[in-house]
Structures are given as structure tokens and as C-alpha cells.
Structure 1
């Protein structure tokens, strides 16, 4: 299912609640509460993601309650005041939306979340159409894979690929920790094997006991 690196499409949630750009403030708030989500993708046309509305976007209205939403102040909080005066998804949303492609790896999705400081990402296809949603929790699911499945992937995608003539090499996985053992013809390939094994979905860490075969006298 996962293979090396693990694709976002394998862990994303496919049932997604989304909004049109004309959705009103109260409709957005009700939808968030009903579905227990903190952010919603905003769509146009044939399901293309154009933005995201979050709880923070809605809370600007409360933050600036009693002030002129069209004004500014000495702190230059113009963006927040704009959100305070917004009444539709089009006005409230953050755009362009921070998304991830369905073919991206789980690691790539995690890096985007960390860099952009978001908890979930709309998942899109090549045309920008919504295909799902992936959250931090979804990304952690990959570490629940069975050790046997991880070992099979490491054997197929790493050892058999790099060392097709060395069937005696072994891979052991315990709680996601991979140990590679055996003798290999080239020490440089042992280093590559360790790096590749770390890209297999569900791997927590890799220990290499691969040793180079002594050259013939």
C-alpha cells in the first residue's frame, strides 16, 4: 500500500467538507462546528481549491469588535481589520491555499506543514482539484505499519534493488527500527542502502551492520 516514501494519497481523508466562495460567515461557523474541523477549503469551478478559511479568520471579527473594520491603527493591523469586516468565504479565506499534491510523499507533506505552520493540508490533483485532506494525525498513521510489512518493503525496494546477487543479506524490523545485516561488495552501497531504508514508510530509524566483502588476495 505505502511502498517507499509513502504517498499522501495513501493516508489522506477522502471525505472532505468544503465551501463555495459565496458561503456566508454563519454558514462557515456552523459547518466548522458540525464537522468538528478548524479549517475548510474554499472551492471554485470544478472543485479547484482557491483558499482556506480557518477559525483564526473568523475570530478576527471578535478581536476587532467595536472598532472600525475599515480603519487601521498604530500597530498596522490592516489585514486583521479586513477579516473583521468580511462576511463571505471569498473575503475571509487565506489565498492562495497551501496545498499538497496527492502524489507527494508523507515526508514532503510534513515539511510543508512545519514550514507553513498549518495542521492540515488540502490534497489536490494535477488540475488543482480537491481530492482529500491530510492532517498531522494522518501523517503519524504511517508509523503504525506492521514490522513485517516494513521489512518486506525494505527487502524489495532496497536490498533486492542494490544487491540482487546477495540473497544472504537480512533485514530485521522491531517497532519500526530497521537493522540491515550481511556482507556487501561495496561499502559505498552500504551507505546508500541505509539512506534508502530510511525513506521506506513507517521506518523510525535504521541501523546498518552491513560490512564490505574483503577483496580477494
Structure 2
């Protein structure tokens, strides 16, 4: 994997099953069941690749929820969207539109914030023309935490220690265990200690940081 920040293109699923606007209800359910997914993008245009919406389980459930339930006018008005979807059979009427999309170069923290703010489980990844490139889920965003401890240690040494303490790298120790980074050793400039902790914590895949750096007047070289 590349150095931080990691991008959506690094973790997204590139082979994505999709449906057209005229896909029928049972077809959509069959696709979800076969591919074991909880949502499918709806695409159209040349090559059937431009994203116009997404159909999720939540869009399909009203048909079952209203099956044996007679709703009054007031409830129908309150749940107008669900009422309409309960009586729909095509993807173009069932889909949620516009779909929430991001470009491939979106950073993982940004993607995570969008999911949290919009209360969604996945983001469609599109190019500048709106063509489907992939899909990124919550699970995909967690893949960075699978990075080996040795890889995290190398990046912290290079991107944090190497940049903040270029003349004192030999006095700063970096240990990583189960994604938790420990920084230890003596440096001259104590104001850089919180900076080092913050930058180490920003490395993708780091779970936490224990900063045990200290200042020492006895140090005569370095930062």
C-alpha cells in the first residue's frame, strides 16, 4: 500500500454488479441474493455505466411491510416515499436518487465522514463523467487496519521521525504492536512531542499512539 493518506481507490471493490432503470423488483432481489450485497447501483447511458441512483434493501422492504397493512390517508402522507415504493416494481421508481458518490481520489477519512454524516453503509465511486468505477463500504474502510505492524513502523519512522527529527532519528525509537505505536527516546525540542504524536496517529492503520518521548538537556545534537 502507498504512504498515507490512503485513497478510496486503494480499498474499493472494482467489480460491481448493477441494474438498469427498467430492472424489475424480483430481478433486483435475485441479484442482491446471488451476489450477497445489500444494495445495487442503477446505471444508464452509453455502456450502461452512468450512475443515476441506488436501490438498497431499505428501498425494497416497504413492499413487504405494507403487504398486510391497510394504511390510512394520514399515515400514507407521513410515509409517502415508502407508500410509493411499496407499489413500485421497477428500479427507476424504487431507487434512491441522487446516489451519494465520491471520486476515486477521496481520502479514507473523508469517505468515512460522508458515510457517518449521511448514515449510509456504502459509497459509489465514479469518474468525472459519473461513470461507475467501484464501490466502497464500511468494511473496505477498515482494511487499512490490516496493515502489518512492520509496515506501520516503517512509515512512522520515515514520515514522522524522519521529518520532525532529521538529525536525531537514532535517538527516537518506534515500536508497533497490534497497530499501537509507541514513540520513545530523548529529543531537544519538547514542543515537537505533541506534533509527533498527532502525525503518528494520522498514519492510516494506526490504532493508537503511546508517546513516551522526553526532553533531555544532556542532548547536544539534533532537534
TM-score using structure 1 length: 0.88
Matched residue, 2:27: 27
- Residue 79 of structure 1, CA deviation: 0.8
Measured after TM superposition, the shift of residue 162 of structure 1 is 1.9
Identify the residue that residue 214 of structure 1 maps to in structure 2: 217
Specify whether residues 126 and 165 from structure 1 end up closer, same or farther in structure 2 by C-alpha distance, changes over 3 A only: farther
1:92 lines up with 2:94 in the alignment: yes
Deviations along 1:59-103, whole A, 9 cap, x unmatched?
21122236789x843461111111112221111111111223322
- Tell me the distance in 1 between the aligned counterparts of 2:158 and 2:110: 23
Q: Which has the higher contact order (CA 8 A, sep 6+)?
A: 1
Whose helix proportion is higher, 1 or 2? 2
Residue 86 (structure 2) pairs with residue 73 (structure 1): no
User: Aligned partners of 2:191, 2:127: CA distance in 1, in Å?
Assistant: 38
Question: Do structure 1's residue 153 and structure 2's residue 155 form an aligned pair?
Answer: yes
Q: Could you report, residue by residue, the CA deviation over 1:103-155 in whole angstroms, capped at 9, with x for unpaired residues?
A: 22222222222222222221223333221112222222221111000111111
Provide structure 1 residue ranges, at least 5 long, that are not aligned to the other structure.
none
TM-score of the two chains, using structure 2 as the length reference: 0.86
Distance 1:122 1:68 in 2: 36
Say which is worse superposed, 203-212 or 177-186, in terms of deviation.
177-186
Aligned residues of 1:72 and 1:81 also touching (Cα < 8 A): no
SS of 2:129's partner is coil
Partner of 1:171: 174
Runs of 4+ in 1 over 4 A off after TM superposition: 66-69
| 2:16 aligned partner | 16
Structure 2: unaligned runs, 5 residues or longer: none
Partner of 2:146: 144
In the TM superposition, what are the counterparts of 1:26-65 in structure 2 within 5 Å?
Answer: 26-46=26-46, 47-65=49-67
Deviation at 1:39, TM superposition (A): 0.4
